[in-house]
């Protein structure tokens, strides 16, 4: 595999994607922007992340600014990106980095920061600090599996994929190499297509030589997701809706939301409504989480007495989009408001 890195870097110099968090030639990446983008990009597309990244960096342009932000403001700004534990870890990590006086440069030290797993630490070390690190996301995993024809099913194949990626990772231009691998997987060697005629590594690719690169990486059969059911409660008065803040730990922790009946990943909801009396069915919304699917009925309060409400706040309906509701509860709100 001699010269693999050089050939890929030559391709990258002419084909790199223009992304909001990337610098132009001659500039050195800001560790804060690299870290922020990598956290946002976990299990999320670049198209979805771009507007959030712009909003975050405009509002909190430095890690110190983010560290000083109230956690509820960050959670609200994150709403819609999903995987909300990332937002909580974002604040904790920013505060740790600000207390240290800046990001550490080594992969090992980065791993000690709150919420930084192996991938993010390697990516920040390589891209922001030029350290040699083996950076493997889903795109890189696919490229390497095809390049070396690693046909052991995932997740068992990850040890061999990492070893193969390590073998071709260069000491020079480590950050560019990591981003080149990501770009190759995102634009050429994609999950649904293998544009081998355009690939700078096609002559070296064992998957292409096998005649069927799309079969790689081999994925284990997906298990059927369990379906959970729950109810969200819509309580409205004088142009405002009652919102609560979910507990800091657990599903959608720390986010503003409609009150609900206690549904979770482990089971259906069974808690009583927040008020006794008349409730009217307003429809059903469906949402898919990583480990389960949720069917959420929405019930609108049709009674009169609201004195028993505690632990929440009245939020103006004409500013509901500013509440930072998670996508699930935003769907529920739109359902009710569409009914008039």
Residues identified as active-site? 38
Count CA within 13 A, CB hemisphere, residue 229: 3
Preceding amide of 100 cis, omega within 30: no
Residues 197, 199, 201, 203, Cα dihedral to 10°:
0
Tokens of 23: 């610098």
Quote the CA–CA distance of 263 and 251 in Å, as a whole number. Answer: 9
Q: Please, which residues have CB within 8 angstroms of residue 69's CB and are 6 or more apart in sequence?
A: 60, 91, 94
For residue 314, what is the enclosing H or E element? strand 312-316
SS3 27: coil
Q: What is the rounded distance in angstroms from the CA atom of residue 308 to the CA atom of residue 330?
A: 24
Give the C-alpha distances (Å, rounded to integers) separating 328 from 84, 260, 293, 298: 12, 12, 11, 11
Q: What is the DSSP string of 183-239?
A: HHHHHTB-SS-B-GGG-TTGGG-HHHHTT-GGG-S-BPPPPPPPEEEEEEEE-EETT
């Amino acid at each position: 595999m001699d010269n693999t890195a050089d050939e890929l870097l030559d391709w990258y110099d002419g084909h790199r994607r223009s992304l909001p968090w990337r610098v132009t030639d001659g500039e050195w990446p800001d560790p804060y922007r690299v870290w922020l983008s990598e956290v946002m990009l976990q299990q999320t597309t670049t198209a979805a992340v771009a507007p959030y990244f712009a909003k975050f960096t405009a509002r909190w342009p430095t890690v110190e600014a983010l560290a000083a932000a109230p956690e509820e403001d960050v959670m609200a700004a994150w709403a819609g990106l999903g995987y909300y534990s990332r937002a909580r870890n974002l604040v904790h990590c920013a505060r740790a980095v600000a207390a240290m006086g800046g990001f550490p440069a080594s992969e090992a030290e980065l791993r000690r920061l709150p919420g930084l797993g192996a991938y993010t630490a390697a990516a920040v070390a390589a891209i922001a600090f030029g350290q040699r690190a083996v950076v493997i996301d889903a795109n890189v995993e696919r490229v390497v599996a095809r390049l070396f024809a690693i046909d052991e099913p995932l997740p068992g194949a990850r040890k061999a994929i990492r070893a193969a990626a390590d073998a071709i990772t260069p000491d020079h231009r480590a950050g560019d190499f990591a981003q080149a691998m990501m770009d190759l997987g995102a634009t050429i060697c994609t999950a649904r297509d293998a544009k081998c005629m355009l690939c700078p590594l096609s002559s070296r690719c064992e998957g292409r030589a096998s005649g069927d690169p799309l079969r790689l990486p081999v994925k284990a059969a997906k298990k059927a997701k369990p379906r959970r059911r729950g109810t969200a409660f819509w309580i409205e008065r004088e142009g405002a809706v009652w919102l609560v803040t979910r507990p800091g730990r657990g599903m959608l922790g720390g986010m503003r939301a409609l009150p609900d009946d206690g549904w979770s990943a482990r089971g259906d909801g069974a808690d009583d409504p927040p008020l006794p009396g008349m409730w009217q069915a307003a429809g059903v919304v469906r949402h898919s989480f990583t480990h389960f699917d949720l069917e959420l009925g929405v019930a609108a309060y049709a009674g009169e007495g609201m004195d028993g409400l505690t632990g929440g706040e009245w939020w103006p309906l004409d500013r509901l989009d500013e509440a930072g509701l998670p996508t699930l509860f935003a769907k529920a709100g739109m359902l009710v408001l569409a009914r008039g």
